[in-house]
Amino acid sequence: MELTYKRASIGDVELLTKTRVEVLRSANQLPADADMSEVEEETRRYYQKALCDGTHIAYLVFDGAHFAGAGGVSFFQVAPTYHNPSGKKAYIMNMYTAPAYRRKGIAAQTLDLLVRDSRERGITAISLEATDMGRPLYEKYGFVKMEHEMELPG
């Protein structure tokens, strides 16, 4: 196994979109026939813009020509707070490892690349949403469960 970690470019939009849809199907336990056409179209549009304007970085992992995994991070700005005076935030998303490559350190390495890129931008507030499968990795890395955040469902 010879793994290559490649920073995604605009030429990788289709693979990123396909992976994102797969991650969402799995995380939401959606049936294979669930209509994801709108999500797919909006995801493609998101990557086309965000990869170009620098508000998203993604890594793709390959074993030779075989796709092994991916992960991304979105950057955004909120009003400064006491604990985050810059107001800069990063949100890690779309962490995925192909089943044949799981438990080989791919997600940990991808996470490390995303955190490093975030830190290089001066971002200290990094968050993510964890599935049951990913939670042990994130906890081992140092992520902690947030207790004061809430969400208003659409």
- Residue 149 resides in a domain: no
Asked if the model's pLDDT at residue 149 lies above 90, the reply is: no
For residues 61 and 4, the answer to whether their CB atoms sit within 8 Å is: yes
User: Alpha helices of the chain — where are they, by DSSP H?
Assistant: 13-27, 37-53, 106-120, 135-141
Asked if the model's pLDDT at residue 98 lies above 90, the reply is: yes
pLDDT in tens, 66-87: 999 999 999 999 999 999 999 9
Residues 96, 99, 101, 103: what is their CA dihedral angle, to the nearest 10 degrees?
80
Record the tokens describing residue 10, joined without a space.
Answer: 């605009």
Instruction: Report the distance separating Cα 130 and Cα 148, nearest Å.
Output: 16
pLDDT band for position 30 (cuts 50, 70, 90): very high
Q: What percent of the chain has pLDDT over 70?
A: 100
CATH code of the domain in which 38 resides:
3.40.630.30
- Residue 150 resides in a domain: no
- Residue 153 resides in a domain: no
**Domain enclosing residue 108, as ranges:** 3-141
Give the count of beta carbons closer than 10 Å to the beta carbon of residue 26: 12
Q: What is the pLDDT of residue 150?
A: 85
Q: What is the mean pLDDT of the chain?
A: 95
- Number of domains present in the structure of the chain: 1
Q: What is the pLDDT of residue 154?
A: 87
- The model carries a pTM of 0.92
Q: What is the pLDDT of residue 1?
A: 81
Instruction: Report the distance separating Cα 71 and Cα 43, nearest Å.
Output: 14
- Residue 147 resides in a domain: no
- Residue 146 resides in a domain: no
pLDDT in tens, 35-61: 999 999 999 999 999 999 999 999 999
Residue 71 carries which DSSP code? Answer: E
Q: What is the pLDDT of residue 147?
A: 83
- Residue 25 resides in a domain: yes
- Residue 107 resides in a domain: yes
Instruction: Report the distance separating Cα 125 and Cα 75, nearest Å.
Output: 10
- Residue 148 resides in a domain: no
Asked if the model's pLDDT at residue 136 lies above 90, the reply is: yes
| φ, ψ at 10 (rounded to 5°) | -60, -25
Q: Is 25 strand, coil or helix?
A: helix
Asked if the model's pLDDT at residue 109 lies above 90, the reply is: yes
Instruction: Report the distance separating Cα 47 and Cα 95, nearest Å.
Output: 15
